Amino acid sequence: MATTARRGAPLTLDEIHAAALRLVDEGGVDALSMRKLAAELDVNPMSLYHHVPGKEALIQQICVAMADRLELPPDDGTPWQEQLRALALAYHALARAYPALFAYAYAHQQPGTDHESGIWAVLHRVLRAAGVAGPDLGRTGDVLHAFVSGFVLAETKGLIAEPGPAFDTAIDLIVHGLAGRS
């Protein structure tokens, strides 16, 4: 018999990730413990360590799983203002889908790790379309990423009184700021 003692099927990394995402979704990152996760999967806590190096690594893994779910807007022919708004909306949607994990990912982000996969390519493409070039490109990209991250983070925390109008205000401010720079 190849079946394990307590479960019908062997433990899977995807299974672990799904359960971990569920726990984090329900009670925040603090609610994720290796022991509770194992209980959720009906498995001995130590079995997890055969699929994952440790708790911190597991959290990193579900962070990139979240980042992979970011639906980057395609390069349709629409003006850069609209594409910038679409990108911000995608980021916004991701944060709303995984509020707790998004906040954790932003707070624990490391300089090297590029958790957002292709987001930088899209952002730079849009900025180039807006006429940003040379050394300004990298700086403006960093700034806009920080701005939008800060906004969606604040929004998911309930710190924005009127999220809808405030989102428009935010995008308008960025668009006018980009258009009106010296």
Partner DNA sequence: ACCTGAACACCGTTCAAGT
Q: Which residues bind a copy of itself (CB under 8 A)?
A: 103-104, 106-107, 109-111, 135-136, 138-140, 142-143, 145-151, 153-155, 157-162, 165-166, 169-170, 172-182
Select 38 or 84, whichever has its Cβ closest to DNA. Answer: 38
Nearest approach in angstroms of CB 74 to a copy of itself is 26
Select 21 or 154, whichever has its Cβ closest to DNA. Answer: 21
* Angstrom distance (rounded) from CA 5 to CA 137: 57
Select 49 or 106, whichever has its Cβ closest to a copy of itself. Answer: 106
Question: How big is the chain by its Cα radius of gyration, in Å?
Answer: 20
The item of a copy of itself, DNA, none sharing an interface with residue 6, based on CB under 5 to 8 Å by kind, is: DNA
Measuring CA to CA, which residue among 148, 45, 136 is closest to residue 106?
Answer: 148
Alpha-carbon 81 to chain mean position: 22
Nearest approach in angstroms of CB 66 to a copy of itself is 16
Select 22 or 181, whichever has its Cβ closest to a copy of itself. Answer: 181
* Angstrom distance (rounded) from CA 132 to CA 86: 18
The item of a copy of itself, DNA, none sharing an interface with residue 3, based on CB under 5 to 8 Å by kind, is: none
In angstroms, how far is the first alpha carbon of the chain from the final one?
73
Locus of tokens 């707790």:
100
The two tokens of residue 54 are: 């440790």
